[in-house]
Amino acid sequence: MTNSLTQNKTAASFETGHQPNLACPNCASVGIHTFYSVSDIPVHSCLLMPTREAALEYPRGDLKLGFCEQCGFVFNTQFRPDVHEYSTAYEETQGFSPTFNAFARELAADVIKKHDLEGKTILEIGCGKGEFLVLLCQLANNRGIGIDPGYVPQRTPPEVAPRIEFIQDFYGPKYAHLMADFICCRHTLEHIAPTLEFMQSIRKTIGDRKDTVIFFELPDVYRVLKEGAFWDIYYEHCTYFSLGSLARLFRQTGFEVTELEAVYDKQYLLLTAIPSDGATEASLAAEDDLDEMSRCVEAFPAIVEKSILGWRKFVDDAISRNEKVVLWGSGSKGVSFLSTLALGDAIEYVVDINPYRQGHFMPSTGQEIVAPDKLQEYKPDHVIVMNPIYCDEIQADLDRLGVAAKICAV
């Protein structure tokens, strides 16, 4: 292993600017403040790369975050949707983590109780491998419709499969005929660039069915800005929401927002809404965040620069002492961490408990993704954990394997 850290510069830029003629895709107002850029990063983070060569040669793009001062929305002003190839080779599931599974099951039970989802029809837009939809159908005898180009039929438990129709496609106007009592969309809206147009389409699809409940879950950009969490900024996520900007989008497109909160250690936003006859007025305290978002955007360049330099130094110092460093978590956070820092081959392996990801390679940087058992042989000195919420279960795995590495979470 060579220490290539000193031979590469970070892919990030902290310059700010203004694009007076650029329209916000979330509220259509004109004039966007740009404040953070990352160049030459992979356009996909969760697409499986079968070889190191394929990973290193995978297409790249540029990211420049813009901020709308009118609605608080953050988005990649350089995003090109034509570069994406969502398919069954897209491996996004977190369902192999006991911590995440406990959260998902508790969330499903809570949603069922709050909205009396017993024997109802549930539509999930962007259902992934269908795990949450399966939970909603298993726990309360519901019927399901899941739409996602990355769905894999073999992942659905046979006992619930007859009650769920899965469609391997993107949701759009051609599915306007699909009726449901409950529409959920989890970790999908952040992948959609024309957010205003998308929500207008959903509202049009619902029509006069005012008793339909809408439930969305997605990442919280406020935490990303406050922490300088550059690992949570990547090409696949072209849009970034706060509680306020998310609520404003729904209200503008004809929904009454009934619940709004941050969960999972403040990493995720949850929004519940019902259709209305037109635009609605803000009524929840959490929606009033424009001033705070403006302050966070202004402070972010300095915070994220310090974060990037700190992590580069951490890895550089470890390598200079002939210590081995591995990443734990090969999903989007890990991809962004490695590509933003331009670490070269300073880190050789990335660990992941998802068996479908093991044996593949990290897009653009080429590290092999390995199972935790590999660490018994490799004997790392440091494990950088890409999400601190999983530290306890990762420490338990290290203890089981007899690996004495020090855990350091982002």
Q: 69 and 123 share a domain?
A: no
Q: In this structure, what DSSP letter does residue 405 have?
A: P
Residue 9 confidence (pLDDT): 65
Name the nearest CA neighbour of 222 among 287, 282, 297: 297
CA–CA dist 94, 103 (Å, integer): 11
Residue 344 confidence (pLDDT): 83
pLDDT tens-digit series, residues 361-402: 999 999 999 999 999 999 999 999 999 999 999 999 999 999
Q: Take residue 401 and report the two structure tokens written for it.
A: 């394997």
Q: Which position has the token pair 């300095």?
A: 302
CA–CA dist 368, 349 (Å, integer): 5
- What is the span of the domain harbouring residue 74? 10-78
Regions of the chain where pLDDT drops below 70: 1-9
CB 271 within 8 A of CB 200: no
The model's pTM: 0.95
Tell whether 311 is covered by a domain.
no
For residue 197, list its beta bridge partners: none
What are φ and ψ of residue 125, in 5° steps?
Answer: -90, 120
Q: Are strands 17-23 and 30-42 parallel, antiparallel or unpaired?
A: antiparallel
CA–CA dist 160, 374 (Å, integer): 35
Q: Take residue 382 and report the two structure tokens written for it.
A: 């440091």
Domain boundary among 277, 293, 309: 293
Q: 199 and 65 share a domain?
A: no
Q: 185 and 266 share a domain?
A: yes
Q: 132 and 217 share a domain?
A: yes
Outline where 228-365 has alpha helix (H): 243-252, 290-320, 332-341
CA–CA dist 376, 31 (Å, integer): 54
